[in-house]
A and B are shown apart, each in its own frame.
Chain A
Amino acid sequence: MRNNDNGFSATRRLILQGAGAAALVGLGSSFGNLPFGFAPANAANDKYPDEAFKAKSDADAIKALYGKTAEASDKVKVDAPEIAENGAVVPVSVTTTLADVTSISFLVAENPVALVASYKIPAGTMANVANRIKMAKTSNVIVVVEAGGKLYSATKEVKVTVGGCGG
């Protein structure tokens, strides 16, 4: 259920989680360092994926977000600069010819938190997203596309002259 109060209710849910509300015990436990084998956030769920945004490595973030691993695919095209002079603002976009795309996520392997952004793509929205991300240093940028229930990824290295994460 989506409504205008989406953001508010997301925040409220976070607070409830912290309080250990009975109905949210399952979600609440994801605050722990448990393996992410259970109830991975799926694309239809509008809950903010906290645990995925805490994961340090790209592999952990993808697992926390989707509960599975991605396979490299040449059907996912990442457009990013070879060299970024300013790591604080790196334009990255993705297009794909894959059908039934439900979600697209951007990760930077060498950032302190690998996951940068995760987009939900409802039916009728094109699998074509551009955004601007921060990069701490030269790193692989990984884009994961969820299509037809499977995960596909593409990786591109971007050389960063001046880091954008204050490292």
Chain B
Amino acid sequence: MASTIRVRATSSGETTEVQALIQHPMDSGFIKDSKGEIIPPHFIQQLTFEYDGKPVFTADWGGGVSKDPYVKFVFKGGKKGDELKVSWVDNKGATDTTTAKIQ
């Protein structure tokens, strides 16, 4: 299966800008389906970005984050060609990981 995570990490020399887009329903548990039944909660709880073996950004998410979540941040350092590791785990224990090259 193709990765659920799309990452673009761009180095400007001193800093690296990271944008990530993840495919996930992010069901909050408050929405009803067409039959009027509650769609059970199903959302990413933690998302981690690691560079050089250290976390550079960690997200704790609730069901209030939009479907197919997007996040952007900037960290100091990061060289072109180096790898950035991204992984998430959701409330059902599902997980995905990908590695992106900094551009």
Taking Cβ atoms with an 8 Å cutoff, the residues of A that contact B are 2, 4, 6-8, 10-11, 46, 48-49, 53, 88-90, 93, 108, 111-113, 115-122, 124-126, 128-134, 136, 164-167
Contact = CB atoms under 8 A, between A and B. Distances in A.
B16 to A, nearest CB: 10
B84 to A, nearest CB: 12
The list of the 10 closest CB pairs from A to B, nearest first, reads: A7-B89, A166-B31, A116-B64, A132-B66, A130-B72, A120-B58, A125-B75, A126-B74, A53-B62, A118-B60
B32 interface: yes
Interface string B53-79: 011111111111111011111111100
Interface string B1-39: 000000000000001000000000010101110000000
Given A115-B64, A131-B71, A120 B57 contact: yes
Contacts, number: 130
A113 B55 CA distance: 27
Given A4-B85, A116-B62, A128 B95 contact: no
Contacts of A118: 59-60
Given A90-B66, A134-B66, A128 B56 contact: no
Interface residues of B, number: 40
B43 to A, nearest CB: 10
Contacts of B60: 48-49, 53, 117-120
B64 A124 contact: no
Contact of A116 (B32, B65, B85): B65
Contacts of A132: 65-66, 69-70
Given A124-B76, A134-B65, A166-B31, A46 B89 contact: no
